[in-house]
């Protein structure tokens, strides 16, 4: 029963790997290029995601609910915005890595508004990304984008909270 | 990246030092969540690899450079929203666009939608946030990205 479930979950992936293996054997160039793309994503996934989840797990057992509620909860106000922006900026990795963090934050009592501010800042303003952006698009471009983004993220947070209600919770992704 | 590894290891070490039991519980929680996300994520990434092959970088450059003005901005937004291009490819690509004379607003909209809106990862986002929240967040981010791009275009 359990194996069947696993097989079902990974069905497409197995198909994909068979296709890749076939491409390698028969020298099918498009297949090899696709596999190269996949390896690229896979590398990002296996370097960032385990670290991310490790931190999330430790965060879960060590950080008490009260402290999250106090700092980025519904009553936190502007300081809450500041803390959540700071937290999100210090992270790295692709956006899907932020989802489990959002779940933990939500469970520990972060306000709906701040969770979506967190997602916005994580996607756009994390420091590793910004350094990269400065290199290729210039300091002026990066600073302007940051400056225009922050108020909009706050606005998105407000709108999301208004639409979803204050009692909205992020689920564990099952 | 190196900083993240060092930081994580430091946290782990400190945690082990203070409380082994608690650390193990934390690791288990993290590991379970990881396994939980893995199949959907691998599926999506394999599909994206195929898409990335079907739509090569040159055609993206061509597509974005073809039209300027409102139409160009809109195309840039749509391409950015659909594509899942990692930042270390996207920023050099955006740099190329700028050097080819493509407007700042087009490039800014492209970059911002690319990193804020995740069309292909929406299935995963729905599992965490629910359909309504995921769709709403992506739509609002799309609008925000358009605004950011247009503002940058006005200033630069």
Comparing alpha-carbon positions, the chain B residue that sits nearest to A17 is B46
Average pLDDT over residues A81-87: 93
Residues of A in contact with B23 (CB under 8 A): 58, 61
Indicate the pLDDT class of residue A1, thresholds 50, 70 and 90: low
Indicate the pLDDT class of residue A120, thresholds 50, 70 and 90: very high
Domain that holds residue B16: 1-38
Inter-chain CB proximity A171 and B129 less than 8 Å: yes
d(CA A14, CA A35): 13
Q: Is the pLDDT of residue A162 over 90?
A: yes
Which of A92, A141, A142, A165 to mutate to test binding with chain B, by most B CBs within 10 Å of its CB?
Answer: A141
Reading phi first (left if > 0) and then psi (alpha if -120 to 50, else beta), residue A173 is in: left
Q: Is residue B117 part of a domain?
A: yes
Q: Is residue B21 part of a domain?
A: yes
- Output A93 or A119, whichever has higher pLDDT: A119
Inter-chain CB proximity A99 and B124 less than 8 Å: yes
Pair (B106, B151) in one structural domain: yes
What single DSSP character describes residue A132? H
User: How many domains, chain B?
Assistant: 2
d(CA B118, CA A94): 10
Q: Is residue B61 part of a domain?
A: yes
Sign of the dihedral through C-alpha A106, B19, A46, A121: positive
Helix, coil or strand: residue B100 = coil
Inter-chain CB proximity A102 and B128 less than 8 Å: yes
Inter-chain CB proximity A47 and B33 less than 8 Å: no
Residue ranges with strand state E in chain A: none
Pair (B62, B118) in one structural domain: yes
Which of B12, B13, B28, B140 to mutate to test binding with chain A, by most A CBs within 10 Å of its CB?
Answer: B140
Residues of A in contact with B95 (CB under 8 A): 136-137
Pair (B61, B138) in one structural domain: yes
Q: Closest Cα of chain B to A170: distance in Å?
A: 5
Low-confidence ranges of chain B (pLDDT < 50): none
- Helix (H) / strand (E) containing A145: helix A139-164
B136 closest CA partner among A102, A121, A153, A159: A159
Pair (B132, B90) in one structural domain: yes
Note the pLDDT of residue A153.
95
CB burial of A77-113 (b: ≥16 within 10 Å; e: otherwise) equals: eeebbebbbebbbebbbbbbbbbbbbbbbbebbbbbb
Residues of B in contact with A95 (CB under 8 A): 115, 118, 121
Q: Is residue B104 part of a domain?
A: yes
Q: Is residue B49 part of a domain?
A: no
Write the CB contacts of A53 (distance below 8 Å, at least 6 apart in sequence).
Answer: A100, B30, B31, B33, B34
Pair (B83, B19) in one structural domain: no
- CB-based contact A38:A20 (threshold 8 Å): yes
Q: What is the ipTM of this complex?
A: 0.87
Pair (B140, B107) in one structural domain: yes
Q: Is the pLDDT of residue A143 over 80?
A: yes
- Facing B30 at nearest CB: one of A9, A54, A137: A54
Inter-chain CB proximity B39 and A9 less than 8 Å: yes
Residues of A in contact with B11 (CB under 8 A): 55, 58
Pair (B65, B132) in one structural domain: yes
d(CA B64, CA B73): 8
Reading phi first (left if > 0) and then psi (alpha if -120 to 50, else beta), residue B19 is in: beta
Comparing alpha-carbon positions, the chain B residue that sits nearest to A61 is B26
Comparing alpha-carbon positions, the chain B residue that sits nearest to A20 is B46
DSSP calls for A33-83:
HHHHHHHHHHHHHHHHHHHHHHHHHHHHHHS-HHHHHHHHSTT-THHHHHH
Inter-chain CB proximity A171 and B127 less than 8 Å: yes
Inter-chain CB proximity B91 and A137 less than 8 Å: yes
């Amino acid at each position: 029963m359990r194996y069947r479930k696993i097989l079902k979950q990974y069905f497409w992936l197995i198909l994909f790997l068979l296709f890749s293996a076939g491409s390698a054997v028969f020298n099918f160039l498009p297949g090899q290029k696709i596999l190269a793309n996949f390896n690229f994503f896979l590398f990002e996934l296996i370097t960032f995601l385990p670290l991310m989840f490790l931190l999330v797990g430790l965060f879960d057992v060590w950080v008490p609910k009260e402290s999250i509620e106090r700092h980025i909860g519904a009553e936190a106000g502007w300081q809450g915005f500041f803390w959540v922006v700071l937290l999100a900026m210090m992270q790295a990795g692709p956006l899907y890595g932020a989802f489990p963090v959002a779940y933990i934050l939500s469970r520990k009592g972060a306000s709906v508004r701040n969770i979506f501010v967190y997602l916005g800042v994580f996607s756009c303003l994390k420091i590793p990304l910004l350094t990269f952006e400065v290199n290729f698009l210039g300091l002026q471009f990066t600073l302007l984008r940051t400056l225009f983004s922050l108020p909009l993220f706050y606005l998105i947070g407000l709108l999301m909270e208004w639409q979803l209600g204050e009692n909205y919770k992020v689920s564990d992704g099952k | 990246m190196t900083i993240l590894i060092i930081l994580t290891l430091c946290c782990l070490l400190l945690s082990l030092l203070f409380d082994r039991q608690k650390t193990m519980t934390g690791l288990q929680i993290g590991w379970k969540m990881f396994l939980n996300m893995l199949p959907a994520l691998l599926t999506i990434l394999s599909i994206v690899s195929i898409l990335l092959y079907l739509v090569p970088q040159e055609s993206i450059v061509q597509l974005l450079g073809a039209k300027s003005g409102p139409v160009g901005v809109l195309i840039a937004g749509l391409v950015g929203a659909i594509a899942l291009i990692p930042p270390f490819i996207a920023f050099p690509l955006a740099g190329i666009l700028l050097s080819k004379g493509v407007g700042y607003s087009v490039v800014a909209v492209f970059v911002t939608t690319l990193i804020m809106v995740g069309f292909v990862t929406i299935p995963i986002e729905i599992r965490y946030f629910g359909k309504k929240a995921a769709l709403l967040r992506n739509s609002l981010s799309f609008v925000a990205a358009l605004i950011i791009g247009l503002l940058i275009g006005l200033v630069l």
